[in-house]
Amino acid sequence: MTGSADSGAEDAPVPMLFAEFLESQPPNSPRSLSDVRIAKQNGYWYLKTPDLQLHCSSEACGGTRFFAFQGSAINFADQARDVFLDYVCRNCNKSWKTFALSLRSTDGTAGTGVKYGELPPFGPPTPSRLISLVGADRDAFLKGRRAEIQGLGVGAFAYYRRVVENQKNRILDEILRVARHVGVKDDALSSLENAKNETQFTKAIDLVGVAIPPSLLINGHNPLTLLHKALSKGLHAQSDDECLALATSIRLVLEELTERSAAAMKDHAELKAALGMLMKGESS
């Protein structure tokens, strides 16, 4: 019996720091907290409001920054509290984060917590290039991203599939932009243009064929072919876990395509500038 008790104690989750809970835990995920409140000199308990490291999407920041709590000290003498916490970026003072929480004290500074929600919604930032690529389906893509983060495979797959099918021509436009920039042949450009007029995704991929610039291939594979393989899986024939894996693969291919596109444009521009400098040197 002793062994069983010890095993249960070992399996018990280690309490999280309150800051880590606010930074990293999705909504509806109850957690034990080691430092949810602090004692003041006046003998009262108050909610702890630590500085947080969060993503700031402002133009001035565009990365992880420290956020500070905005507001007065919150009394936490009672056993339970429902609270809203507002945080602002210390660097730009423009980006805000609001948490809706249900908190309960258990012993001293310790307690438990669960998020009702947060704004902007929980989740790692989506690259701005990818948001630009999906265009008018931005909201659908972000809903898919939130579903993916929460492990809702069917929902994530359905949203991502809708985005790719709706934005086929924007994806092809991005490929065309790179193709023109790097100087592919006219017949290849024509194939890419014709693919935009094809309503069926499979036929559009066939038209693209070898016309896609090599710099956009992902481990030697056409990104449109990779997307098609993921999308062609029957939604109702897959388990939720399988749908989640497919949804993640769709997002990663789209992210990699945007990164390779940006890199190809940058590399070609730098090479063109370098060649121009060398040619200028030869002619002088």
Which residues have CB under 8 Å from 68's CB, separation 6+? Answer: 51, 87, 88, 90
Note the pTM of the prediction, 2 decimals.
0.67
**Would you say residue 4 has pLDDT above 50?**
no
Which token pair is 188?
């290849």
Q: Which tens digit of pLDDT belongs to each residue from 35-45?
A: 999 987 677 89
Q: Which tens digit of pLDDT belongs to each residue from 45-76?
A: 999 999 999 999 888 888 899 999 999 999 99
Which of 101-105, 184-188, 207-211 has the largest mean confidence? Answer: 101-105
Q: Which tens digit of pLDDT belongs to each residue from 246-274?
A: 999 999 999 999 999 988 887 655 556 65
Which residues have CB under 8 Å from 112's CB, separation 6+? Answer: 30, 31, 32, 33, 36, 103, 104, 106
3-state DSSP call for residue 43? coil
Structure confidence at residue 86 (pLDDT): 97
CA-CA distances (angstroms) from residue 158 to 41, 201, 207, 280?
54, 16, 26, 54
CB-based burial, 68-80: b 16+ in 10 Å, e otherwise? ebeeeebebeeee
Averaged confidence pLDDT in the chain? 86
Question: Predicted confidence band at 11 (pLDDT cuts at 50, 70, 90)?
Answer: low
**Would you say residue 7 has pLDDT above 70?**
no
